[in-house]
Amino acid sequence: MEVGESYEIAKEETSQEILATVKKVGGIPPANMRSMSVQIGDGCLKIKFKEPADTVIDSQLLCTVKGCRVIYKAGSAPTDETDGTLAVDNTELGKYVDTALTISGLTNGTAYYVGFFPYSDYGLYNRNAANITSGTPQAYILYGYKKAKADSGAASRITYLEMAAGMTAAGMDFTNDKFSFGSWENAFFMPKPYMVKTAGTLDYELDHDDQTKKIDGSTASDISNSSYDGNAMSVFPTIWLYQYEDTDYEYNYICNIQLNSNYHAYAHQREDGTIAEWVAIGMFDASAVSSKYRSLAGLTPTVSTTADQEVAYAHATGAAYDLGTWAQWNLVNTLLTLIGKGCNSQAIYGYGNGNTSAALATGTLKAKPMFYGKAEASSTGTAVKVFYLENWWGNIWQRIQGLLNVNGTIYTKMTRPYNWTGSGYTNTGLTPAGTSGGYISKCKCNNSYGTMPYTASGSATTYECDGLWFNNSQVDVALMGGRWGDAALCGASYVALGSVASGAGTDIGARFSLQQPAA
């Protein structure tokens, strides 16, 4: 063994033989790094790392770790502790486990390799290639919030993080019948209203305040034209989420780029793993016309269909079209919580069609801006609109793909293909509990499936403020948003896990979506 190389101990070697070898070469270098990560930034890299432990075999101390030199280099990996620019020579072991070291003054778009070279108190270095990682700095926008698990206050439990810190929340001004964007009007993730061709191409943009017109504000649009070869849809740019929790908080980060491998764009991820530049969600509840789903104003939402019929209608619209998904709901609801800085979606955005005896026709808010809603006292028969999505809650239940209750265990799948059995899905290990038909009081926040409600022991004004239904004795397909008659139970987080795929009713329908087709 040469000085500076990693020493791998053979199973048949005895501790005495190892000690003899160590004495012969003057010691051994440290083991590999225990952890290392790189988060990209605007002209910088933020790195965290944990040095190896001392090497002890059969109670014999073979190597004492003294420190770690961190070297970075553009274009290629550093080969040793002198090959590149020194970021830090750290002898305070564990200093950068939780606190990031920032390497500044880098060029955006250039790949930088970061090498970690731990060394012993005898000056022996570990130069193993396993201790090399990389990152490419980029300009980015990163918003975040954390949700206090123990705080039942719908608004007080939310704290803004990263670039959201200090920003003003959005919400309806019910007194003056208008929406206030607060600090969020020009946020990168805000969708745009489009007429989208059935072939999957964006045809033209609609006026942001009145979708009966094109973006020029004067030319009539095709939003109510049943002869038009396309649909009215809300188009979201690529959005990356990082969602997780610890003992006290749920954390949600929203970024315009993939900062690191923790960030996922599941709503935009195609079946082959590529990421679409946009995803379009129908502005309206889906209406089946000639066995194809349409999203146009002035139609009657199609109800009393099974899950298989709904998928068939969506697929018949075009090859890239599909039924709405849990990944899309998780994305939209995360954004709503962010900009509203609270969990009571009805109090922030509008009550929805809460106390009528039938579903509203599509397009009642087609001449309204991106957000619109009414307070509870004046909401009967009035739709709610968020991100151009009319009746996201409170009109009919929207059946979605990717979220199942399989005999008392919640299963999820964030990308196509989907099924109604749970095969190939992620077992969350969560069992719906509490009172079915009650209000959500607990969620699990996980980077594999987002924010998942699973316990109903709250109220209309505490925790998530929305309803949770379940039947743990069968395989249930998720229904989202709540329907007319569910009143305060409706909302962005509402989920019903108590209906089988073959279940049909006058209050169950769907909404379809489209990922940008691959070139």
**Average pLDDT, integer, range 401-412:** 98
User: Residue 465's pLDDT is what?
Assistant: 97
Whether pLDDT at 156 is above 90: yes
* Percentage of the chain exceeding pLDDT 70: 94
Tokens found for residue 411: 């299963």
User: Residue 376's pLDDT is what?
Assistant: 86
Whether pLDDT at 238 is above 70: yes
**Average pLDDT, integer, range 81-110:** 96
Residue closest to 295 by CA, chosen among 225, 204, 220: 225
Confidence band of 25 (pLDDT split at 50, 70, 90): low
For residue 217, CA distances in Å to 205, 234, 280, 417 come to 11, 18, 22, 40
Confidence band of 2 (pLDDT split at 50, 70, 90): very low
Helices (H) and strands (E) in the chain, counts: 4, 35
Whether pLDDT at 151 is above 90: yes
Query: For residues 38 and 135, what is the distance between their CA atoms, to the nearest angstrom?
Result: 6
Q: Give the DSSP letter string of 199-267.
A: TS-EEEEBPSS-TTBBTTSSSB-STT-TTSSEEEEEEEEP-EEEEEE-SSEEEEEEESS--STT-B-GG
User: Residue 354's pLDDT is what?
Assistant: 62
Look at the pTM and tell me if it is higher than 0.75: yes
Confidence band of 6 (pLDDT split at 50, 70, 90): very low
Query: For residues 381 and 395, what is the distance between their CA atoms, to the nearest angstrom?
Result: 9
Comparing 20 with 5, the larger pLDDT belongs to: 20
User: Residue 11's pLDDT is what?
Assistant: 45
Q: Which residue has the tokens 């049943």?
A: 226
Are the C-beta atoms of 71 and 84 separated by less than 8 Å? yes
> Tell me: the pLDDT tens digits for 458-472?
999 999 999 999 999
Mean pLDDT, the chain, as a whole number? 93
Whether pLDDT at 18 is above 80: no
Whether pLDDT at 332 is above 90: yes
- Parts of the chain belonging to CATH 2.60.40.10: 15-135
- Check whether the bond before 29 is cis (ω within 30° of 0): no
Phi-psi map region of 407: left, alpha, beta (phi>0 left; psi -120 to 50 alpha): left
Whether pLDDT at 4 is above 80: no
User: Residue 355's pLDDT is what?
Assistant: 59
Whether pLDDT at 362 is above 90: yes
User: Residue 14's pLDDT is what?
Assistant: 56
Query: For residues 379 and 387, what is the distance between their CA atoms, to the nearest angstrom?
Result: 19
**Average pLDDT, integer, range 424-453:** 98
Whether pLDDT at 141 is above 50: yes
Query: For residues 451 and 444, what is the distance between their CA atoms, to the nearest angstrom?
Result: 6
**Average pLDDT, integer, range 51-58:** 93
Query: For residues 157 and 344, what is the distance between their CA atoms, to the nearest angstrom?
Result: 11
Residues paired with 398 in a beta bridge: 480, 509
**Average pLDDT, integer, range 291-300:** 97
Whether pLDDT at 177 is above 50: yes
Residue closest to 113 by CA, chosen among 95, 93, 131, 90: 131
Whether pLDDT at 504 is above 90: yes
**Average pLDDT, integer, range 214-223:** 97
User: Residue 378's pLDDT is what?
Assistant: 78
Comparing 43 with 20, the larger pLDDT belongs to: 43
Tokens found for residue 208: 């942001």
Whether pLDDT at 381 is above 90: no
User: Residue 485's pLDDT is what?
Assistant: 86
Are the C-beta atoms of 285 and 396 separated by less than 8 Å? yes
Residue closest to 473 by CA, chosen among 431, 508, 443, 502: 431
* Percentage of the chain exceeding pLDDT 90: 88
User: N- to C-terminal Cα distance for the chain?
Assistant: 53
Q: What is the CATH class of 15-135?
A: mainly beta
